[in-house]
Amino acid sequence: MPENGKGGRVHPLADVLVIIKESWGLEFLFRWAHVLVGIAWIGLLYYFNFVQVPAFAELDAGARNQATDKLASRALWWFRWAAVATVVFGVLILLVQPSGSDTWGRLFYGEYYKSFAGISISVGILLALTMFANVWLVIWPNQKKVIANARNVLAGGEADPAAADAGRRALMASRQNAIFSFAMLFFMVGTSHFFASLSSGEPGGERGIFWAVTIVVWALLELNCLGIIGGRGTGGTNWFYDNHKRAIGTGLVLVLFWYLLWVLVF
């Protein structure tokens, strides 16, 4: 059986996988696929927030139910499965990236997450996983109720009085995802192309300060979009969910905030 260079035996399959990885450029392939499906996910997120929601507000109930049945349901299918594919390819990149002296396995290599690149990708992944959870645990379950109601009404049934609240829950999570997405992409792209060159040396204990502030801001925003801080009404702490222009502005402010935090701390 082949050895792993450290005196340990490895399974022959590991050798085959290393050959495939090195000759096919797996990291590049996964990176390309990751960005491709990421575009599909976030593109549809922007379609929902910037195009569909404002357009649906101008439609009468009958037209809106038709569009929900035929259009939104299809868009949501691509949206949620593109989200799954993005996470899968993202994890695959981390798996095939080199870690220390090994040619791959960065996913489980703790030292990486202490580097500037590691901190950057960790924040990106934290935001992306939160967005993923919002898609599958908040947006989709609530949109299912909205779609079921639209189809029921189109078939001549009674409107479900709970549908409006379900729509509002989905909308708040969706707006928060749009807000998070700007910073998420900033850290994704910045991992190889920005943050390492922005700071010199290696990060030390100040990592703790960076993470403490990051976690507080992330948690407050997520709790807010779940209605736990400011309820599900308009205005107040939900001000930036009230229309898509406010969400875009808030997303940009959040990018500036995290950039300044990085520069100040590191």
Nearest CB to ligand HEM, comparing residues 83 and 153: 83
Q: If binding is defined by CB under 6 A, does position 191 make contact with ligand HEM?
A: yes
Whose tokens are 């935090």? That residue is 261
Question: Least Å distance between CB 3 and ligand HEM?
Answer: 28
Cα–Cα distance between 102 and 109 in angstroms, integer?
10
Nearest CB to ligand HEM, comparing residues 129 and 219: 129
For 6, list phi and psi in degrees, rounded to 5. -120, 20
Q: If binding is defined by CB under 6 A, does position 123 make contact with ligand HEM?
A: no
For the purposes of burial, counting CB atoms within 10 Å of the CB of 4, is it exposed (0-12), middle (13-18) or buried (19 or more)?
middle
For the purposes of burial, counting CB atoms within 10 Å of the CB of 185, is it exposed (0-12), middle (13-18) or buried (19 or more)?
middle
| Residue 90 backbone zone (phi > 0: left; psi -120 to 50: alpha; other: beta) | alpha
Taking CB under 6 A as the criterion, which residues in 139-178 touch ligand HEM?
Answer: none
Taking CB under 6 A as the criterion, which residues in 19-38 touch ligand HEM?
Answer: 31, 34-35, 38
Q: If binding is defined by CB under 6 A, does position 138 make contact with ligand HEM?
A: no
Q: If binding is defined by CB under 6 A, does position 121 make contact with ligand HEM?
A: yes
Cα–Cα distance between 256 and 100 in angstroms, integer?
32
Q: Which stretch binds ligand HEM (CB under 6 A): 122-130, 164-172, 208-216, 249-257?
A: 122-130
Residues forming contacts to ligand HEM in the complex (CB under 6 A) are 31, 34-35, 38-39, 41-42, 86-87, 90-91, 93-94, 121, 125, 128-129, 132, 185, 188-189, 191-193
